[in-house]
Amino acid sequence: MIIVHDILQARENIAKYIHKTPILHSSQLSEICGNEMYFKSEHLQKTGSFKIRGATNKVLQAVQREATYITAASSGNHGQAVAYIANQLGVPATIVVPVDAKESKLNAIKAYGGQIEKCGTTSAERLPRAKKLATEHNGWFIPPYDDPLIMAGQGTIGLEILEQLDHVDVVVVPIGGGGLISGILTAIKQTKPKVKVIGVEPETANDTYLSLKNKKITAIPGTTTIADGLRTSQPGSMTFPVLQKFLDDLVLVSEEEIKRAQFLVMERMKQLIEPSSAVTVAAAMNGKLGVQNKNVVCVLSGGNVDIGK
């Protein structure tokens, strides 16, 4: 299990490669939600999501250990982040994507300097291929969330929130594989333990909710939730114990609630966020946080939206 020292080290490692993203405030959303609403704006981060933090921390270690090749398995934000930082560090990267990946996502990976290899339609096919490529080329495979360096990198968001706002009562975080929330939990609970951290999942991608309820990692079938960055089948073996230890609550939001939150942020705040970010706002808007008149920070995890849709 990572500790806050790991996150402090990660912050030092990645500082020159990332943005310290702003925290925005919305008086209109505050009125709607019944709390003072603040938004940690990782949709304004390099490559458009928080993923660059953990990816940078991991790829830097790979390069320090003389890796000459990087691989990842992702057509989304993780793949873009790995392609970007590998290119910045002068190391070739191959991102293994599904055969049916959207052209817009492939173009983004290519724009960041990544090579594309298509393989199957499931992560069960892509992950072994990405790992095999790394082995064949004296390379490193960069996992999306279940890794101490990835978790520590994402945890730097928690440190920034505590530094940027004098008084924080609640931090609301999306949950996919758990890399983001496990890092933020560690940063906050080992620094200011009275700050509540609440996780949010889509109702149709509730693997962590079920895992916590069952007190063991529980897998779910594939899901088609609009929050495609949260479509994991089960939490990570490294991330899950952190949630069991520290998480104050986990709430679920519907597809309609996610869509409405995404639209409202765009309409009222003029910020384009992806549905995986909007789950936190959806929870706050629909009274699911169990608090009133508090300072609430929603983590907006990314803004990579296919605007052609």
CATH number of the domain residue 156 falls in: 3.40.50.1100
Residue 200, burial from CB neighbour count under 10 angstroms (0-12, 13-18, 19+): buried
- Structural domains counted in the chain: 2
- For residues 194 and 165, state if they share a domain: yes
- For residues 28 and 157, state if they share a domain: yes
- For residues 75 and 203, state if they share a domain: no
- For residues 105 and 249, state if they share a domain: no
306 is a domain residue = no
Residue-wise pLDDT tens digits, 256-296: 999 999 999 999 999 999 999 999 999 999 999 999 999 99
- For residues 37 and 160, state if they share a domain: yes
How much is the pLDDT for 309?
A: 57
How much is the pLDDT for 260?
A: 98
The pTM score is 0.96
Q: Catalytic residue at 75?
A: yes
Residues of the chain below pLDDT 70 = 308-309
Which one of the listed residues 40, 46, 51, 189 is annotated catalytic? Answer: 51
Instruction: State the number of CA atoms in the 13 A half-sphere of 26 facing the CB.
Output: 25
Q: Catalytic residue at 123?
A: no
Which one of the listed residues 49, 75, 276, 301 is annotated catalytic? Answer: 75
Q: Tokens 């975080």 label which residue? A: 173
How much is the pLDDT for 102?
A: 81
- For residues 278 and 247, state if they share a domain: yes
What residue numbers bound the domain in which 224 lies?
4-49+147-299
CB 162 within 8 A of CB 184: no
227 phi and psi angles, rounded to 5 deg: -80, 75
**Among 123, 141, 159, which residue terminates a domain?**
141
Nearest to 52 by CA among 82, 89, 15: 82
How much is the pLDDT for 306?
A: 81
How much is the pLDDT for 19?
A: 98
How much is the pLDDT for 208?
A: 97
Nearest to 53 by CA among 165, 142, 133, 134: 142
- For residues 115 and 171, state if they share a domain: no
How much is the pLDDT for 98?
A: 87
